[in-house]
Structure 1
């Protein structure tokens, strides 16, 4: 399942992702937290083994065909059990129902990226399969090691 991966090292705290999400959904489901020397955007991780889905007593939380964790607002009773179950504290209660990132299903259906990802000017947010991301990281690490080795090699 694809998801939004976050590279905090690239985040410049411009909050373009928050503004884009609010423009698309009427509220922002991504929050940029700022610390002394860095910023971290945070949104629903759409966990593979989503504790919120497991904890929901009414079955209001489910996965769509692409694997995104979604909310059926007709079944949600606002009990906040999902909020307690989430290891990241992401779900929020608004109007007596749980709300959270849905990975922009209308945009995904059109083959587009979630708007926060498309809007991020630094590439701190990316929409990829975790295995593809991991493969890219391994390759980048190998390239850095190879460069370091060539820089330290004795001259010919």
Structure 2
């Protein structure tokens, strides 16, 4: 499952992502909030067990987006969204669908000059992190291989000591 990953420490608040989204969809499905010296984007988190889908009385709300022909703009989805990322405009609900209808991917990613937004495969990311953690655990009990001049001196000393023991 792919999700939008936003690194707020890279975001400079330029709002290019908002403008690109609004230009494509007619509404902003991503909103940048200025909090102190940082910027935080609010967008649909593509919830696995999405409350907006569960509460929708017409079945218009799906993980693929909103079926405007079924939506009655009741606003229930907007009320239950834990992130506040669903808006009601033009007689229908709107939420990010990761620009599934665009061949070149989400418009917000392309618009972001700071590369603060990326589309990430969560399972792939999880597998990489687990592999890195396992590798770290495996290396805990192992002595690091010595390199450089100090190891040569230490090795020569150990060899000399071992030879002295054998000759005794």
Q: 1:94 aligns with which of 89, 94, 104?
A: 89
Distance in 2, matches of 1:136 and 1:9, equals 22
Q: What TM-score results when the alignment is normalised by the length of structure 1? A: 0.77
Greater relative contact order (Cα < 8 A, sep 6+): 1
1:122 maps to 2:110: no
Instruction: Name the SS for the 1:11 alignment partner.
Output: coil
2:67 matched residue in structure 1: 72
Distance in 2, matches of 1:38 and 1:132, equals 29
Q: What is the aligned length?
A: 138
Query: Conserved in 1, the CA contact under 8 Å of 2:4 and 2:120?
Result: yes
Runs of at least 5 residues in structure 2 that lack an aligned partner in the other structure: 137-149, 151-168
2:43 matched residue in structure 1: 43
Q: Does 125-134 or 71-80 show the bigger shift?
A: 125-134
Residue deviations 1:97-116 (CA, integer Å, cap 9, x gap): 11122211221xx3x22110
> Which structure is larger by alpha-carbon Rg, 1 or 2?
2
- Residues 49-60 of structure 1 correspond to what in structure 2 (within 5 A)? 49-60=49-60
Runs of at least 5 residues in structure 1 that lack an aligned partner in the other structure: 144-155
Residue deviations 1:79-120 (CA, integer Å, cap 9, x gap): 11111111011111112211122211221xx3x221101221
Distance in 1, matches of 2:6 and 2:28, equals 16
Q: What TM-score results when the alignment is normalised by the length of structure 2? A: 0.72
| Aligned residues: CA RMSD | 2.5
Distance in 1, matches of 2:79 and 2:100, equals 25
